[in-house]
Structure 1
Amino acid sequence: MTIDTTVASLTVKPGELLSAARELGLAGRWDRALALLDAATADAPEIRSRILLTAAQTALEKDWFTGGDSARARLAVAERELPDGDWDVDFARLRHTYRQLLLVDGAPRFGPAGKDPEALGTLCRRAEALRDRAPDEGRRGWAAMYAGLVADNHFADRAAAHACYTAALDAAESAGDPLLAREALRHLGDHDHDAGEDGLALERWRRATALGAGAGAVPGTLSQQLLLAVLARDTGDPAGAAALAAEVARWADALGAAPLAAQARAFLSGADPTAPPPTP
């Protein structure tokens, strides 16, 4: 059926539109989600600003899995539309800054080496401030999650990060947020794996995989499957690990998640994706 878009009109509840776009983004259909949001019009400023913020959040997800920086411009637009101090747009900016500071010479670098100490300190304080002024338990948990990521991946402070991840998991269970629980379990499992607690890591990573799949997070579930491949290889099943990683690479290629596909292929060549890259 062909619809004449010059005369057709359609009314959709804003909440349904935003939910549909978020679910498309979680599924790795980032361009479709952004096209849907860009096609929406709203006279009410509060609805228009939420559409723009959702577009920025979707672009953040796209950038994480594709390696681009499409979120920068969309964040700037959302910040102009939303009032100063809006928690959600401030959190989106934190996520963008976290990722940008993680990249040194175009590649992820863990720990503080080669990074601006002042910028890292500001990032840490912003994460803590967002946690302190979060309007509900779920968002408090997300701020705690990113405080942990900052401690872990920018300061190499594993103890502080573990405490933040545990707080994020508690908040996720209290708020009923499967995506936050998935994120916290993913990183707690990484700590278990590093400590040689493979049984606990497997339990947490399996649960994280199921939570991500249940929430429709296709690229996130693939990245979680790669961690299960790591454990399979570490515990004596190299053939199973290789089969799982090969499928992760195939699916990631199909989605356009090039960094994840490259990580899976590196695993097939013997690399450990849970090991941080060499630090100068």
Structure 2
Amino acid sequence: MTNTTSTFVDLDELLASARDLALAGRWQRALRLLDTTTCEAPEDRARLALAAAEVALESDWFGGTRLTADRAERAEKEVPGGDWDLDFVRLRHDYLRLLRPDGASRHGPEGKAPDALAELRRRGQALREGAPDEVRRGWASMYLGLITDNLFGERDAAPAHYEAALRAGESGGDDLLVREALRHLGDHDHDAGEHERALERWRRATALGARAGMIPGVLSQQMLLAVLARDTGDEGGATALATEIARWAEAIGAGHLHGQAAGFLAGIDPTAPPQGR
């Protein structure tokens, strides 16, 4: 005979715990926590399913898994009338699939279907216009910038979106949105040769990620600091930092990030546009 125990936990606290686990790179544990939680109210089941889709997306992004499509489909069944946050998960997932169809990642529409790119940008614009609050409008602006920057290769047009995201994150107290905006504004500073400005933004982005407990995100941000160290002549510092990033990324199962660090140690710049552009 099996004994079962029921424990009542505040749903907001449980969802926050699952999010913290996901930020720390414990994606499977976060999903197990969500999957073993039972709710009777339809709106609570919808929140659980949405949280699971968001965790799955973090796992796909950093861990190289392919969990989001199924999780988003499950969430859609719990929210048949549609939901801004679920639509945003789908936008981010489709951006990821277009960004890394074969492990590639950087600037430009080469090899990508123009119709798919245009539709993704249209969806981003619709999410920005229909956002229920300023922070979520900022997140939509952030992804409009990423789509403009990394899929369309329109480098001059992207920073305005990042600046809008930065303002929204700072006014709304969303450290992760601020981190994301600083990360990509610093990328533009770096490309323009403004290394001091890039360093300032990237250091702040690293600290914000650390404060949020975002282990894979902190490592990805440190990868940019390693790039900057190499660019400014500190090859020893760059190599030491990248070696530790590779070690940590492998330990937590962040396969894409481990590959970036290994490539960097072999002389590849992860911020460089693809060859031939």
Q: Structure 1 length normalisation: TM-score?
A: 0.96
Identical residues among aligned pairs (%): 63
**Equivalents in 2 of 1:7, 1:215: separation in Å?**
35
- Aligned with 2:26 (options 19, 25, 29): 29
Unaligned runs of 5+ in 1: none
**Equivalents in 2 of 1:159, 1:40: separation in Å?**
46
- Aligned with 1:166 (options 139, 163, 167): 163
Greater CA drift, 173-182 or 228-237? 228-237
- Aligned with 2:225 (options 212, 224, 228): 228
Per-residue displacement from partner, 1:76-101 (whole Å, max 9, x unpaired)?
Answer: 11011114331000000101111111
Name the amino acid aligned to 2:165: A
SS at match of 2:156: helix
Q: Trace 1:45-64 onto structure 2 (pairs within 5 A).
A: 45-64=42-61
- Tell whether 2:266 aligns with 1:255: no
Q: Is the 8 A contact 2:106 2:272 kept in 1?
A: no
Q: Is the 8 A contact 1:172 1:181 kept in 2?
A: yes
Aligned to 1:94: 91
1:108 offset after TM fit, Å? Answer: 3.1
Greater CA drift, 134-143 or 265-274? 265-274
1:264 offset after TM fit, Å? Answer: 0.6
Per-residue displacement from partner, 1:200-247 (whole Å, max 9, x unpaired)?
Answer: 000000000000000000000000001111111111211111111110
Aligned to 1:208: 205
Task: Give the root-mean-square deviation of aligned CA atoms.
Answer: 1.4
**Equivalents in 2 of 1:279, 1:51: separation in Å?**
45
Q: Is the 8 A contact 1:147 1:164 kept in 2?
A: yes
1:270 offset after TM fit, Å? Answer: 1.1
Q: Is the 8 A contact 2:76 2:82 kept in 1?
A: no
Name the amino acid aligned to 1:214: R
- Tell whether 2:107 aligns with 1:110: yes
Q: Is the 8 A contact 2:62 2:216 kept in 1?
A: yes
SS at match of 1:239: helix
Q: Trace 1:240-251 onto structure 2 (pairs within 5 A).
A: 240-251=237-248
Aligned to 1:6: 3
**Equivalents in 2 of 1:80, 1:118: separation in Å?**
27
Aligned to 1:181: 178
**Equivalents in 2 of 1:92, 1:149: separation in Å?**
15
Aligned to 1:132: 129
**Equivalents in 2 of 1:5, 1:48: separation in Å?**
26
1:106 offset after TM fit, Å? Answer: 4.8
* Structure 1 runs (4+) greater than 4 angstroms displaced: none
**Equivalents in 2 of 1:229, 1:108: separation in Å?**
18
Q: Is the 8 A contact 1:223 1:260 kept in 2?
A: yes
Unaligned runs of 5+ in 2: none
Name the amino acid aligned to 2:220: S
Q: Is the 8 A contact 2:137 2:168 kept in 1?
A: yes
Q: Is the 8 A contact 1:109 1:279 kept in 2?
A: no
